[in-house]
Amino acid sequence: MRVIFSITQITFLEVVRQRFFNFLLLLALVFSGSSLFFQQFNFGSSELKFIYDLGSGTVLFFGTLLGVLLTAQLIFTEIENKTALTILARPVHRLQFLLGKFLGIWLLMWVFVLVVTSLLGVILFFRESALLHLTPDLFPDGRHTRYGDLLIFGLIQGVRLGVISAMTLFFTALSRSTMYAMVISFMGVMICQLQYIAQEATLAGRSWFYSAFLQIIQLVFPNFSLFNTSDLLVFPSGDALSMTSSWMIMGYGVLYIGVLLGLAAMIFQQREV
Amino acid sequence: MAEIPAITIEKLTKEYRLGLRGFVVRAVDDLSLSVPTNSVFGLLGPNGSGKSTTIKAILGLIRPTRGSLQIFGSSSSSIVSRQRVGYLPERPDFYQFLTGRELIHFYGKLSGLADVRLEERTNEVLHQVNLVDAADRSLSTYSKGMLQRIGLAQAIVHDPDLVILDEPTAGVDPLGAEAMADIILALKAAGKTVLLCSHHLSQVEQLCDSVAILYKGRCLVQGPLEELLERNAAGSIRIPHWSPEVEQQALEALKAAGIPVEGVRMDRGSLEALFLEHARKGGRDR
Ligand SMILES: Nc1ncnc2c1ncn2[C@@H]1O[C@H](COP(=O)(O)OP(=O)(O)O)[C@@H](O)[C@H]1O
Ligand SMILES: [Mg+2]
């Protein structure tokens, strides 16, 4: 355990010192800037929903980018600069090495989600207060925003980014170059994201062979549309996402993380560094 | 009872398969050797002769195609074999954004050091490699020689009985190489075993008790350095304040004593020796 956490700590520290937070700050500025910019059009209470979409979109898009790029880059740097050699030449299991790395990256992902989500909460709160003051008749029952949902949103997205990192780790263990690992991982994420298409196609029921193929894809790749819950949270149009469903989605993600890390470790065990 | 050797290699062959068509490179070919404890063993040979590959196989970082390897009697494929070993890889880079002290701390923890002992050892090895002043600077500001020394420090932080160094003086200036040599001798004096690998034969000649010379993956010769060099030993006499008259006298004296002379060579002294002499006067580097 100590070994794993030492690797986690050093991974985290190294990335933070690589100006990770500068990137985060920049992103936060762009996001707040754009929500302020759209403020001038003043489209009433739907503006809040718009800000929320902007924020959740930021987490989805940049989170995915960060998850894939950071994971692939970190592992390959480690192999290229011989650090992996010096770590594995000690009494350290390869599984410990991978777990340590993964936890370090995942921690960074959580920081990312935390920062953007909190910022989103703060911006929503201030804008809603302002709108309440300006156009009270649009808010007959007081505040619209379900701020508690932001927490659930953050949790689910954190788990989702964990799945992305674990998947990238798996593809990285298979690849020989950073570029290859990144491209393959992005394709993997894409497939996961588009799972619902496969699902619909299976239901539409083409040929026997085709639907068997789709079913295998559905089994092997996690279904990311499950994580796309932002429309059911904060400003739900219909029923909000229940607590039970939220936990189930997170459990589903954690399960996939476990499986992917296990597979990555098995491949990495065979690999010559 | 014979002591267990620090390293035992039996009939090691390592082949790399390149590409899909299965083109095979044989990096090490049927190598057997044994490194006795408390000695400095030189694994020598030109670039590409299979030294690094042999070392990686010893450390269980790559799997041998054939053959068996042991460290202090336990197989290289097991984790326990790596408990008493320190390793400096070839041209290490390490993390750019950590300080020297953080790096040593990290490796100490990986090898199971904790608390006071970790603190103690970190300071000790930083001192040993003469990096105390630079310990709290980021590694990205380190020179080549300093990186090599911090690499050595991480290899010995847990006080291992066997230290494996892959080209420790590659790209290091003469002063740095000399410092490295001093540390290696100190390790031996402390009862450790050092496996040293280098393509720079003359640089390690003074250090090694035994050597094995590899070429294209095969071992050409191996044994104690004394024995190997005795076979074609030739003495030389150095005479200071040279002049043609002195030469004449010396040759006549030798001739009178019945000692055959192979040749006379003017020795201008080497630039390296000159540099070292001045540098010692000028104090240590930073
Ligand atoms: N990962 C690898 N894949 C393919 N060939 C390799 C690999 N590593 C080393 N080789 C080849 O094995 C031979 C020995 O290399 P190496 O052990 O690095 O030599 P040395 O350390 O003595 O310079 C070289 O011909 C090198 O090209
Ligand atoms: Mg080498």
Binding site membership of B48 for ligand 1 (Cβ less than 6 Å): yes
A272: buried, middle or exposed (CB in 10 Å: 19+, 13-18, 0-12)?
A: exposed
pLDDT at A228: 79
Percent of chain B clearing pLDDT 70 (strictly above):
95
Task: Give the strand pairing for B66-71 and B7-18.
Answer: antiparallel
Q: Which among B89, B111, B151 has the least Cβ separation from residue A90?
A: B111
Binding site membership of B45 for ligand 1 (Cβ less than 6 Å): yes
CA distances from B195 to A89, B166, B192, B214 (A): 15, 8, 10, 14
Neighbours of B43 (CB within 10 A): 31
Residue A44 has pLDDT above 70, yes or no: no
Core vs surface per residue A171-197: b (16+ CB within 10 A) or e: bbbebeebeebbebbbebbebbbebee
Taking an 8 Å cut-off on Cβ atoms, the answer to whether A3 and B80 are in contact is no
Q: Is A87 on the interface with B (CB under 8 A)?
A: yes
**Rounded mean pLDDT, B214-221:** 89
Taking an 8 Å cut-off on Cβ atoms, the answer to whether B62 and A3 are in contact is no
Residue B80 lies in a domain: no
Taking an 8 Å cut-off on Cβ atoms, the answer to whether B154 and A86 are in contact is yes
Look at chain B and report how many structural domains it folds into: 1
Assign A128 a pLDDT band (cuts: 50, 70, 90).
confident
| pTM for the model | 0.85
B60 CA to middle of ligand 1, Å?
Answer: 16
Residue B273 lies in a domain: yes
pLDDT at A191: 84
Residue A157 has pLDDT above 80, yes or no: yes
* Contact criterion met (CB below 8 Å) for A166 and A102: yes
Residue A7 has pLDDT above 60, yes or no: yes
CA distances from A10 to B98, B103, B122, B139 (A): 8, 9, 17, 14
Question: Structural domain of residue B256, as residue ranges?
Answer: 244-285
Render pLDDT for B65-92 as a digit per residue (tens, 0 to 9).
Answer: 999 999 999 998 888 889 899 999 998 8
Residue B143 lies in a domain: no
Taking an 8 Å cut-off on Cβ atoms, the answer to whether A82 and B93 are in contact is yes
Phi–psi pair at A86, nearest 5 degrees = -70, -30
Residue ranges per structural domain of chain A:
2-269
B90 CA to middle of ligand 2, Å?
Answer: 6
More confident residue, A33 or B256: B256
User: d(Cα B36, Cα B208) in Å, to the nearest integer?
Assistant: 12
Residue B195 lies in a domain: no
The length of chain A is 273
Q: Map residue B36 onto helix, strand or coil.
A: coil
Q: B95, B144, B152, B162: which to substitute to probe chain A, counting the most A Cβ within 10 Å?
A: B95
Question: How far is CA A75 from its chain centroid?
Answer: 18
Residue A138 has pLDDT above 90, yes or no: no
Q: Which among B89, B97, B109 has the least Cβ separation from residue A82?
A: B89
Name the residue in chain A with its Cα closest to that of B155.
Answer: A86
CA distances from B114 to A6, A16, B238 (A): 12, 25, 54
Measured at the alpha carbon of residue A102, what is the angle toward residues A159 and A17, in degrees to the nearest 5? 105
Phi–psi pair at B245, nearest 5 degrees = -65, -45
Strand B40-44: give its sheet, edge to edge: B85-88, B162-166, B193-198, B40-44, B210-215, B218-224
pLDDT at B269: 67
User: d(Cα B108, Cα B121) in Å, to the nearest integer?
Assistant: 8
Q: Which among A6, A81, A273 has the least Cβ separation from residue B61?
A: A273
Residue B184 lies in a domain: no
Q: Map residue B15 onto helix, strand or coil.
A: strand
More confident residue, A19 or B39: B39
Neighbours of A150 (CB within 10 A): 20
* Contact criterion met (CB below 8 Å) for A68 and A185: yes
* Contact criterion met (CB below 8 Å) for A14 and A6: no
Question: Of A136-140, B33-37, B257-261, which range is least confident?
Answer: A136-140
User: d(Cα B275, Cα B272) in Å, to the nearest integer?
Assistant: 5
* Contact criterion met (CB below 8 Å) for A64 and A182: no
Measured at the alpha carbon of residue B208, what is the angle toward residues B205 and B212, in degrees to the nearest 5? 90
pLDDT at A45: 60
The DSSP symbol for B5 reads P
Contact pairs from chain A to chain B, CB under 8 Å: 84
Q: Where does chain B have alpha helices with state H?
A: 51-58, 100-110, 115-128, 144-156, 174-189, 201-205, 225-230, 244-256, 271-281
Question: Measured between beta carbons, which residues in chain A are less than 8 angstroms from residue B154?
Answer: 86
Q: What crossing angle do the helices spanning A195-204 and A208-220 adopt, rounded to 10°? A: 150
Average pLDDT of chain A? 84
**Rounded mean pLDDT, A163-171:** 93
Q: What is the ipTM of this complex?
A: 0.82
Render pLDDT for B122-171 as a digit per residue (tens, 0 to 9).
Answer: 999 999 999 999 999 999 999 888 899 999 999 999 999 999 999 998 87
Residue B139 lies in a domain: no
A266 CA to middle of ligand 2, Å?
Answer: 28
Residue B16 has pLDDT above 70, yes or no: yes
Point out which residues pair with B71 in neighbouring strands: B7, B74
Ligand 1, atom nearest to B18 Cα: 4
